Amino acid sequence: MRHSFRVGTFNLYNLLLPEIPYYESRRYSIAEYEQKKQWISGQLNQMQADIVGFQEVFHEQALRDVLADTPLYDSATLITGKVDSEKQKSEKKNGEKPKVALVSRFPILQYQVIDRFPDAAKIEVEGMIIPLDRFARPVICAQIAITNSIVCTVIVVHLKSKRPIVLEGKDRHDPIEIVKGQTRALVQRAAEAVALRVLLVEILQKTRHPVIVMGDINDSDRAVTSRMISGEPPDPDWQREYKEIVWDVLLYSAKEIQARHTRGDFYYTHMHDAYYESLDHILVSQEFMPQNPKHIGRVKYVSVLNDHLMDKHLMDHPVEVWKSDHGQVVAQIELRN
């Protein structure tokens, strides 16, 4: 019997403790908090994932409360993307900020929370350096022992959304300020994609080390920022030695792998203004691609839990606050004998 494991990504949509304000005046009542916990636990039970990357965790204790109600993770390890003490002091003044988190039923050998961009990610435009040097939401990079002989690097991310970044004092309804804000958000997400790509190349280059990236990338798998993270395949006309250099550092979308096996495309993880979007992704290195002669496993099946998604722009009643506005993605990976 072949051994397999599951990985999943789950945007929790503002998970925090009850009666604590977030985003100005919003807060969960105790009843809403209990409903949210139960709903998240129910989704996790459907996912049955051994490793889950979470986004939008305001309070670690809230996630621990959820996991305590989910027997599947009784012996699992939870880590959150906590920042350093200096930034934590700043956050207490400005309110809690959402973080990523990771839960694993396998041993986590070591991990780091990456806040700052690597030096090689600096971008120069016409002699000027773009003054962005850190992730808006720090990244988790963990070494996880899948088996006694297989250690996998798992990276959990949540890149900047498309929501406009409008400067303080500016009119948030002004169409010019809106487009400027959208540009700032795009630049931030692109800079984060470059930084993540630099980190990935450092891990992948000239190794046979398996890597999985999961999270809310806030763009489709074919978007420019998404392709910046995964890398572009080599030109078919290149000599094989140059192709192998590129293959060595590529990532592959679980969505795309699944599409090759099925005739229908039902992969969407978010709805906005009647558009079905894929914002949440799982990417794997060539070690999980059967086309690689030296692969150690393969993505066997990908599922998306999205039946709960509703478009609030088309509804006459509000969407329940305890449900996520994102679908959950699960990839089953079968290891080679």
pLDDT digits (tens, 9 = 90+) for 281-321: 999 999 999 888 889 999 999 999 988 888 777 776 677 88
What CATH fold (topology level) applies to the domain 4-335? Deoxyribonuclease I; Chain A (3.60.10)
Six-digit token string for 27: 């807060």
**3-class DSSP state for residue 278?**
coil
Report the range of poorest mean pLDDT among 61-65, 81-85, 282-286.
Answer: 81-85
- Containing 177, the helix (H) or strand (E) segment is helix 175-204
Six-digit token string for 52: 């889950």
**How far is residue 206 from each of residues 38, 93, 200, measured CA to CA in Å?**
45, 45, 12
pLDDT interval class at 107 (50, 70, 90):
very high
Q: What is the mean pLDDT of residues 245-255?
A: 90
Q: CA–CA separation, 176 vs 250, rounded Å?
A: 38
pLDDT for residue 62 is more than 80: yes
Report the range of poorest mean pLDDT among 47-61, 86-100, 119-133, 262-276.
Answer: 86-100
pLDDT of residue 85: 52
pLDDT interval class at 73 (50, 70, 90):
very high
Could you tell me the pTM of the whole model? 0.92
- Domain residue spans in the chain? 4-335
Sequence-ordered strand ranges (E) for 82-210: 99-104, 108-116, 124-125, 128-129, 134-145, 151-158
Six-digit token string for 337: 């004998």
pLDDT of residue 266: 65
